[in-house]
Copies of this chain bind each other. A is one copy, B any other.
Amino acid sequence: MNKTECPSKEQAIYNAVITLFKEGADLSNLTVSQITAKAGIGKGTAYDYFSDKEEMIAKALFFNTAAFCKEVYLSSKEEQGFRNRMMRILLYMENAVGESSCIFRLVHILTDNSTIGKRLKELMESKPADTIMVEDVMRLTITEEFGEQSVSNEKMLYLINSSISRILCYGMSFSNPYNLENCRNEEMRRLVCQSICREAEELLAG
């Protein structure tokens, strides 16, 4: 009876894309052969479930990110207070970046003019209300902790983007040609957390 939560072939494609990505593949040069081989299904089968290669990759990123974000959000609710919840979120996201998470990649693809990016935008624009994406995690946490009326739309969006930008900042450090080997991750993480939390408290509680 576990077929209901694992529609088999679609999920196999998603898993294959995510696995290939984590193995270091360049998503914009992935081939259908690679994907279906990794998924363990025939090439033609993929086309029974997706209209083209871009849809396979875009949906894989979308659903993988959505699943991760839901997990992060639910986890954050176990904590009390905004600062603690934010800490939990940041730690979760940092770990994800560390393992080449799709969240990081998704943001990139959304901005690179690629076909995959266009497909992703379509998916995000038509996503169901109960799907939680990166921005929703921040938005929900903020409104749950500070109340819905406590902040202007502009400040809210600034906070959301500012928080997400810290994740990118951290992720960048792995590919930065200026080596960061002397920079302990803990110190970096402490500074990022400190900065984002204070900013949120000032803008929202003040």
Chain B residues near A164: list those with CB within 8 A: 169, 172
The residue on B at minimum CB distance from A104 is B111
Asked whether, in the complex, the Cβ of A26 is within 8 Å of the Cβ of B113, the reply is yes
Chain B residues near A161: list those with CB within 8 A: 169-170, 172-173, 176, 188
Asked whether, in the complex, the Cβ of B188 is within 8 Å of the Cβ of A157, the reply is yes
Check: A77 CB closer than 8 A to any chain B CB.
Answer: no
The residue on B at minimum CB distance from A160 is B178
CB-defined interface of A99-143 with B at 8 Å, one 1/0 digit per residue? Answer: 000001101101111110100010011000000010100000000
- Total count of chain A residues near the partner, CB < 8 A: 55
Determine how close the nearest CB of chain B comes to the CB of A104; give it in whole angstroms.
Answer: 7
Number of copies of this kind of chain in the complex? 4
CB-defined interface of A149-161 with B at 8 Å, one 1/0 digit per residue? Answer: 0000111011011
Chain B residues near A166: list those with CB within 8 A: 162, 165
Chain B residues near A162: list those with CB within 8 A: 166, 169, 191-192, 195
Check: A45 CB closer than 8 A to any chain B CB.
Answer: no
Question: Given contacts A110-B177, A112-B108, A172-B111, are A187 and B165 in contact (CB under 8 A)?
Answer: no
Asked whether, in the complex, the Cβ of B158 is within 8 Å of the Cβ of A191, the reply is yes
Determine how close the nearest CB of chain B comes to the CB of A17; give it in whole angstroms.
Answer: 13
Query: Which residues between 173 and 198 of chain A lie within 8 Å of chain B, taking CB atoms?
Result: 173-178, 180, 182-184, 187-188, 191-192, 195
User: What is the CA–CA distance of A113 and B188 in the complex, to the nearest angstrom?
Assistant: 24
Which of B25, B113, B158, B183 has a CB less than 8 Å from the CB of A187? B158
CB-defined interface of A47-83 with B at 8 Å, one 1/0 digit per residue? Answer: 0000000000000000000000000000000000000
Q: Give 22 pairs: A residue, B residue, CB < 8 Å, sorted on A.
A: A21-B113, A26-B115, A26-B117, A28-B29, A28-B114, A29-B115, A107-B172, A108-B111, A111-B172, A125-B177, A135-B177, A154-B182, A154-B183, A154-B184, A158-B188, A158-B192, A161-B188, A162-B166, A164-B172, A165-B169, A168-B168, A195-B195
Known pairs A28-B112, A135-B178; list 4 more (Cβ under 8 Å): A21-B113, A29-B115, A104-B111, A165-B172
